[in-house]
Structures are given as structure tokens and as C-alpha cells.
Structure 1
Amino acid sequence: MIDQLGRRVAILFPPQRIVSLVPSQTELLFDLGLGERVVGVTKFCIHPPEARQAATVIGGTKNFDFDKITALKPDLIIGNKEENYQTGIEQLAAHYPVWLSDISDLPQALDMIRRVGFITGAEEKAEQVADEIAASFAALAAPEPPVSVAYFIWRKPYMAAASGTFIDDMLRRAGFRNVFAHLGRYPEVTPEQLAAAAPERIFLSSEPYPFQDKHLAEFQMLCPTAEIQLVDGELFSWYGSRLRRSAAYFQRLRA
């Protein structure tokens, strides 16, 4: 099998002992009806709620407990280029089949869903999920002109989602123009840069930094004319089956 990095991965088909190193892909596996085969997940795999009870928690996305993974005897490990760390992946790949996704836009997310379905023997269900997501986004009519927005993922220092990120692709499809699209990936942004960009709206994501109501006034002082809003980061950045809810959420945000 070929993963999204073009790596050839030898997988015993169908895999029966799967370790998932990425929360959004863990949720996808359960939604594909493969929950009983998922033996290992990360501490951040919060969806579905039973994932961390049904499987062994093998650490975080960037610090694996290799002894726990070894004890699980996985016949497939599923990870992601950005969310996991290269040295950890290389160490696992020396002993187990490790299939990696690489996702920066919706087509790549749909491709990942279909490929995960193929390598796990859940091809038909995965095709249904991918088709449902594709149809929901196709029906999402973007307003003209798009509304300018800044999307923040971190505080102290302020960090925004910029070009080359999955979040940036979601913003564009939702009808927003990212005021930091000229910057690379997840840049630090100064208060002066934010004021100069003058976005019409500012989105404060629920993850990875847990922005809350108490942070709204802080950004309002920096951009007095902007509309400041807390947003569901999972619906902007989880690229698995949760995308089935994203288009409708974006429609409500625009309204």
C-alpha cells in the first residue's frame, strides 16, 4: 500500500490490531465501524468518548510510549506527517507497518478517508463518508466578496493559521479571506501586525489553545471594529469524519 507521503507500506490485510496516533483519524476509524480493532490511541483522542476506554493510551501525538505500543503488537499504525514527530515515526516504522497521511486541503482529506477505508477493509463505508463530506462542501456557496478574517490558534505569543494549512483551506471554502494568507503556516503575529491587517472578523479557536470568553476583550482592544468570535477548532482542523459537520457550521458562522 502507498501512503500520502508516497511511502510503500506492507500491510497484513485486513489489519486486526490498529494503533492510531492522530485524534481525527481515530474518530474516523470508529465511524468506519473499526472500533473493536483499534487497540491504541493517544491521550488527545477524545472522540468518540469511549475511544480512550476501549483502547490503550500510548502517550501524546508527539511523545509515544514505545513500550506500550510494543505490548499491543500492532499490525497497522496510522499517523500524520504534521501531527506526529519524525523521529518517533521512524522508530516505529523500523518494526511495524506505519501508514502516514499528509493533509493541507479538502481533496487530500477525502483521499485520506478513502485510502484508510481501503487499507482497513472498510472501503464502502469510507466512500460513503467521503461522498457525504464532498456533497456538503459542494453545496456551500461562498459569499462575494469574501469576509476578511484572522484565525488564532495560540496566545502568548499570538499565533495564527496562515497559508499551506488545512485551516486556511477551510476558511476559504467557508467564504472567508485569511488576512495572513501571505505568511507561512503558523506564524507569530504581533498586535501591530493584527491592527494593520484590520480583519472584519477574528476567530479564536477552541484548540490547541483553549480560547474563552475572557479573551474576547483582549482582541477587541487590538481591533476595535472587528467582530470577535470563539469558534470550534475541531470543525476547522479535524480532517476525518468530523468534516461531515463542518460545512453546516461554516454556513451558520457566515450568517
Structure 2
Amino acid sequence: MGPQRIVCLTEEPTETLYLLGEEHRIVGISGFTVRPPRARKEKPKVSAFTSANIDKILALKPDLAIGFSDIQADIAAALIKAGVEVWISNHRSVEGIVDYIRRLGALVGAASRADALAMQMEERIATVRADAETLERRPRVYLEEWDDPQITGIRWVSELLTIAGGDDIFPEHAAMPLARDRILADPLEVVRRSPDIVIGSWCGKRFRPEHVAARPGWENVPAVANGELHEIKSPLILQPGPAALTDGLDALSAIVRGWSNRQAPD
């Protein structure tokens, strides 16, 4: 049986439950949910990412609330004090996302379907990785999660970039789980590391390549000089759920492959 009335405080449990055919269990979702699109039409919105309408959630009489990371600790604490069972996941890697699919599926009695979905994701990853191995040269890539202050890419995005055939210029930052630990103390460090590609995924707002190109000292960065400034919408890559392993990985692969094709001699 498992929980019958689930509130999803972030997008990834909503997307996963819909993919598993268990959407009937969901009674409330995050206002930031965009996948699948029908969820926004079918389910009441009860939370943002760092805040939630606790009274509205309690009125839905949930038997489980699912959230993500320490950032939702206050929401989780309020719900626990009100007697709601809460699961806060904290996966930060590609392997962790795949495992999350399996764990969530088991939680709602859909373990076999979750395992099949996870295996499908693993096969997709293996295919993209094998395709990337045919590239003659791997680009150096600067992943930017926010612009002011400049925050480098989180671990699962960095790992997906590696799978797609690129190399993160700040791999040491990607290992840091908290955004504050990935803030660039010196923006000119990007210049010194000379990325071939810049990929922006600014959570909640549009990437502005013209602003990036105009940063002092950045004019000689290969990515700027060659117009290799690209955006991947944050819902595709910054949610640690299925979207990152599908459309997010595809978007990274397309950018890397496109760059590689442009390096080929005429």
C-alpha cells in the first residue's frame, strides 16, 4: 500500500511518481513544478523551495511529505511538529538520483517499475557516455548556477557534463554540496582556467550571455571570443530527478557535440 496522500515539496518526487504511474497519491506540489506540465493543472500548489503554506498542507491531511536538502529543514520541522511523516532526501550525484528513483518507488509499492525506470536511465547514461568517447577533443566547460554572486555547478551537473564529453573547470567546487561553498571568490579565476564553453543555468531567471561576455577581463576567454555561451533552463538540470538524466543530459550532450563539430577542420 504505502503512503496514500503525499505532498511533494520539490519537483523531483512529483516527476518520479508520475513516471511510475503513482500520481494519484499526490495531493500537493511545489509551485516551482513544471514537469510534468499536467501536474500544475491537477494538483494544488502548497510550497516554494524555502517556504511552504503549512496550514494548506495540513488541510490536505498528508500521510507523507517529501522534500530535498537542508534548505527545507524548517519546513520539515514544522510538519514533523504537526505530526506529519517527512522524508528529506539529500542525494547530490548521478548515482544518487538513480538510487532515489528506486527508493521512492519502493516506498510506494512500485519497486519493480522503479527498478525498470532506473535501469532505463542507466542505459541512457551509458549510451551518452559511449557517444562522448568518440569526440576527438573534450571541451573545458564553466558551469554557472547563479550570476551574483557567481556560483559554480553542483555535483550531479558536473558529473552529467563529464558523461556528455566535457570537463568541468571547477571540479573541486562540484564536490561541495552547499551553494555558499561554490561561490567564486575571484571571478577572474574563470579567465585563468580558460573555458571553451560557458553554460549558464540560473535558477529562476533567464541566462544573459551578453552580461557574461561584458564581465571585466573576460573578453579573451575562448568561450566568450568564440560565442560559446549557452543556456540550459534550470528545471532541466538543477532538479536532482529524472529530468536531469534525460532532457538535461541531452542538452549538455548537444552543446558539447555542437562545439566539437565546430572544431573540425573545413
TM-score when normalising by structure 1: 0.84
- 1:3 corresponds in structure 2 to none
> Is the aligned partner of 1:70 residue 2:71?
no
Aligned residues: 240
**What is the Cα deviation at residue 138 of structure 1?**
1.1
1: CA distance between counterparts of 2:211 and 2:38? 32
Which residue identity lines up with residue 233 of structure 1 in the other structure? S
Q: How does 1:202-241 map to 2 (within 5 A)?
A: 202-215=198-211, 217-218=213-214, 222-224=218-220, 225-226=222-223, 227-241=228-242
1:146/1:208 Cα in 2 relative to 1: closer, same or farther (>3 Å)? Answer: farther
Secondary structure of residue in 1 paired with 2:172: coil
Which residue identity lines up with residue 73 of structure 1 in the other structure? K
Gaps (5+ residues) in structure 1? 1-12
Q: Which has the higher helix share?
A: 2
CA RMSD of aligned residues (A): 2.3
- 2:183 corresponds in structure 1 to 188
Q: Among residues 145, 167, 179, which one is paired with 1:153 in the alignment? A: 145
Q: How does 1:1-255 map to 2 (within 5 A)?
A: 13-82=1-70, 84-94=71-81, 95-139=83-127, 140-141=129-130, 142-143=132-133, 146-161=138-153, 165-183=155-173, 184-185=176-177, 186=179, 187-189=182-184, 190-215=186-211, 217-218=213-214, 222-224=218-220, 225-226=222-223, 227-242=228-243, 243-255=245-257
1: CA distance between counterparts of 2:114 and 2:208? 35
**What is the Cα deviation at residue 214 of structure 1?**
4.2
Q: Deviations over 1:117-140 (max 9, x none)?
A: 111122222122111110011122
2: CA distance between counterparts of 1:49 and 1:239? 18
1:122/1:59 Cα in 2 relative to 1: closer, same or farther (>3 Å)? Answer: same
**What is the Cα deviation at residue 221 of structure 1?**
6.4
Q: Verify the 8 A CA contact 1:63 1:88 in the aligned structure 2.
A: yes
Q: Verify the 8 A CA contact 1:129 1:241 in the aligned structure 2.
A: no
Secondary structure of residue in 2 paired with 1:58: strand
Secondary structure of residue in 2 paired with 1:85: helix
Q: Verify the 8 A CA contact 1:153 1:161 in the aligned structure 2.
A: yes
TM-score when normalising by structure 2: 0.81
Identity of aligned residues (%): 27
Secondary structure of residue in 2 paired with 1:36: helix
Gaps (5+ residues) in structure 2? 258-266
